[in-house]
Amino acid sequence: MAETTRLPEPLDVHWDWQRRAACRSLPESLFFHPDGERDPRRSRRVDRAKQICARCPVRGPCFSHSLSAEEPYGTWGGVDERERVAILRRRRGARTAAGGHYRPAGRDDAAGA
C-alpha cells in the first residue's frame, strides 16, 4: 500500500495533473498487474504502459507522485515497480551518504522524467 502520509493535502491544485494524464481513459489493467502475471506477458504489458507514458503531458508530475507516495504497484510516469524500488534505494543511499540530509536525485532516476 502507498504511504499516504507523504501525500499533499486533498486540494484540487495538487491533483489536477491527473485530469490530463494519457492513461485516464485506458483500462487500469494496462498499468497494474493482474494476480499471478508472469513474463513474458508482464514485460509486454509494462512496455505498452511505458509507451503511453512516453507521450503523456503529465509524465513528470506522475513520476514525482509515484516516488513521494512510494507507490508499490503499477507503472507511473514511465517507471515500473522494480525501477521505482531501485530509484528509492539509491535516494536512501544518497541521503545516508549525505549525513541524513536530503540530496535530490539526478536525472538518471528516470529517463526524461
- Is 107 among the annotated ligand-binding positions? no
- Is 23 among the annotated ligand-binding positions? yes
Q: For residue 61, how many C-alpha atoms fall within 13 Å in the half-sphere facing its CB? A: 15
User: CA quadruple 58, 63, 64, 65: dihedral positive or negative?
Assistant: positive
- Is 61 among the annotated ligand-binding positions? no
How far is 7 from 52, CA to CA, in rounded Å?
24
Contact 87, 100 (CB under 8 A): no
- Is 24 among the annotated ligand-binding positions? no
The DSSP symbol for 55 reads T
- Binding-site residues for [4Fe-4S] cluster, in ranges, read 23, 53, 56, 62
- Binding-site residues, in ranges, read 23, 53, 56, 62
